[in-house]
Amino acid sequence: MTAVAEGGVTREEADAYLDAMVGARADSYRRLFDGSQGEPLMNSEDIMALAVRMRGMQQGGNPGPLAIVMPRAKHEQFARMLGILAVPDRPIRFFSDPVAARAWLDGPAVRDWPKRQAHGRGVA
């Protein structure tokens, strides 16, 4: 599953994306979020509220691997969100390049992650 943010992204738009994921029952899918062309029009409280919501969504299921693409200058702004989203044995990683992010998601260690986890061999 791939989502691309372009231009300004509001809290309402981010919530609509999460609503669509829940409706599609896509929580265990491999996901690429490409925010390299987007600009969050949210304050730190909005970003943390979204992180808390996403964390709650994860607790009820088996969250799939997540690649987040954004400019390096924004990594620090979202590092706390990454900490909230990190759960044991769930592959999650920041990238500056969408091609590298897709390659990571398509690599065998991440692509086969649910099978490995089901056999007790979680990905490090």
- For residue range 44-55, what is the model confidence (pLDDT) as tens digits? 889 888 888 888
Distance CA 69, CA 41 (A): 17
Instruction: Decide which of 8 and 78 is more confident.
Output: 8
CA angle 107, 1, 114 (to 5 degrees): 50
pLDDT at 12 over 90: yes
- Write down the pLDDT at residue 121: 38
What is residue 123's predicted lDDT score, i.e. its pLDDT? 35
Beta strand ranges found along the chain (DSSP E): 2-9, 31-40, 66-69, 92-95
Percent of the chain having pLDDT more than 90?
31
Phi, psi of 79 (to 5 degrees): -60, -40
Greater pLDDT, 11 or 86 = 11
User: Is the pLDDT assigned to residue 15 strictly greater than 90?
Assistant: yes
Under the banding of pLDDT at 50, 70 and 90, the label for residue 85 is: low
User: When comparing pLDDT for 86 and 27, which is higher?
Assistant: 27
